């Protein structure tokens, strides 16, 4: 258990929290004293995650929530407020990502609409339902899980468009909510070792070599960033996108390696000719 207790007495709702980044964030916040509502479309998995957190001595409950359904979203928010006495933190983590069609003109309208609805409109629905309660708490914070896909091309047209939209929503909502005492921020990860990469260890190993820090991310890396932005340690931060990406957007590792290797070959060639 972490020594920090920044969320003692806080009520927290996390979407898509049955596994991966959502589950890691739930664990981190519970370890810091939060009471967490683990929501997911998969209630069995959500119950399992909440049960594991209770075994650690934390306060966690599970609730079914499809962020595409306004009624379910509002029910989840109401449940959190009733169960915990307040809602202090909302973590928008739920998303949908459909692999691209080989050709853009073959993209499917339904998949496009669903990716945007779950990923972007889902965060909108949850934030809208939660905002009055976050205001009432006097220390409210929204942290949304975005992606570097919203900043740079990593594929996945609809998903990337939705993540870019989340960055814009973060800025506009931060401006609206600031005078009401609620902070709104976003974390933008790159490759993170979650169940979405299950069975693809070789791909992750290749990806690790493209990161300046020499590895892909772990769910706990993102959870730590969420905990910071949701806490009073970030009391003067709102409307920001925090890139938690191993340096991949700052440094083109593949390009640097290619140039270095090319330069080495050229130097060796020049030396052999002189010899």
Please answer whether residues 88 and 6 qualify as being in contact, where contact means their C-beta atoms are separated by less than 8 angstroms: no
Q: Which of 251, 114, 121, 247 is nearest to 188 (CA)?
A: 247
Distance between start and end Cα atoms, the chain: 63
Is 79 an active-site residue?
A: no
pLDDT at 270 over 60: no
CATH number of domain containing 242:
3.40.50.720
Q: Evaluate whether residue 37 is within a structural domain.
A: yes
Q: Evaluate whether residue 57 is within a structural domain.
A: yes
Q: pLDDT for 149-164, tens place per residue?
A: 999 999 999 999 999 9
Is 159 an active-site residue?
A: yes
- Confidence band (pLDDT; 50, 70, 90) for 273? very low
Q: pLDDT for 2-26, tens place per residue?
A: 668 999 999 999 999 999 999 999 9
Please answer whether residues 29 and 17 qualify as being in contact, where contact means their C-beta atoms are separated by less than 8 angstroms: no
- Confidence band (pLDDT; 50, 70, 90) for 269? very low
pTM assigned to the model: 0.92
Average pLDDT over residues 199-227: 94
Percentage of the chain modeled with pLDDT above 90: 86
Q: What is the reported pLDDT for 253?
A: 87
Average pLDDT over residues 88-97: 98
Q: Evaluate whether residue 1 is within a structural domain.
A: no
Q: Which domain holds residue 38?
A: 11-250
- Quote the radius of gyration of the chain (alpha carbons, Å): 21
Which range among 87-96, 147-156, 226-235, 256-265 shows the weakest confidence by mean pLDDT?
A: 256-265
Q: What is the reported pLDDT for 22?
A: 98
- Confidence band (pLDDT; 50, 70, 90) for 257? confident
Eight-class DSSP state of 138: T
Q: Evaluate whether residue 55 is within a structural domain.
A: yes
Q: pLDDT for 34-88, tens place per residue?
A: 999 999 999 999 999 999 999 999 999 999 999 999 999 999 999 999 999 999 9
Percentage of the chain modeled with pLDDT above 70: 93
- Report the SS3 class of residue 136: helix
Catalytic residue among 95, 159, 211, 264: 159
Q: What is the reported pLDDT for 263?
A: 62
Per-residue DSSP letters for 104-133?
GGG--HHHHHHHHIIIIIHHHHHHHHHHHH
Q: Evaluate whether residue 204 is within a structural domain.
A: yes
Q: Evaluate whether residue 260 is within a structural domain.
A: no
Average pLDDT over residues 126-153: 98
pLDDT at 274 over 50: no
Helix axis angle for 122-137 and 157-177, nearest 10°, is 20
Q: How many domains does the chain have?
A: 1
Catalytic residue among 48, 95, 124, 163: 163
């Amino acid at each position: 258990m972490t020594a920090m207790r920044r969320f003692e007495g806080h009520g927290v709702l996390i979407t898509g929290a049955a596994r991966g980044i959502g589950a890691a964030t739930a664990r981190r916040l519970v370890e810091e004293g939060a009471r967490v509502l683990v929501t997911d479309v998969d209630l069995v998995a959500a119950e399992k995650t909440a049960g594991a957190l209770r075994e650690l001595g934390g306060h966690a409950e599970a609730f079914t929530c499809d962020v595409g359904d306004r009624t379910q979203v509002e029910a989840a928010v109401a449940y959190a407020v009733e169960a915990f006495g307040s809602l202090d933190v909302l973590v928008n983590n739920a998303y949908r990502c459909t692999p691209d069609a080989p050709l853009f003109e073959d993209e499917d309208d339904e998949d496009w609409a669903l990716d945007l609805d779950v990923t972007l409109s889902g965060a909108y629905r949850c934030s809208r339902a939660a905002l009055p309660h976050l205001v009432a708490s006097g220390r409210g914070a929204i942290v949304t899980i975005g992606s570097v896909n919203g900043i740079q091309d990593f594929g996945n047209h609809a998903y990337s468009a939705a993540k870019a939209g989340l960055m814009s929503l973060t800025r506009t909502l931060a401006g609206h909510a600031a005078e009401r005492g609620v902070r709104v921020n976003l974390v933008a990860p790159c490759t993170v070792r979650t169940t979405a990469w299950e069975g693809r260890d070789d791909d992750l190993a290749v990806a690790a070599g493209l990161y300046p820090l020499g590895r892909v991310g772990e769910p706990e890396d993102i959870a730590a960033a969420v905990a910071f932005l949701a806490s009073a340690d970030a009391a003067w931060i709102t409307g920001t996108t925090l890139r938690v990406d191993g340096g991949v957007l700052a440094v083109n590792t593949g390009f640097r390696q290619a140039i270095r290797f090319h330069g080495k070959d050229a130097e060796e060639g020049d030396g052999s000719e002189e010899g």
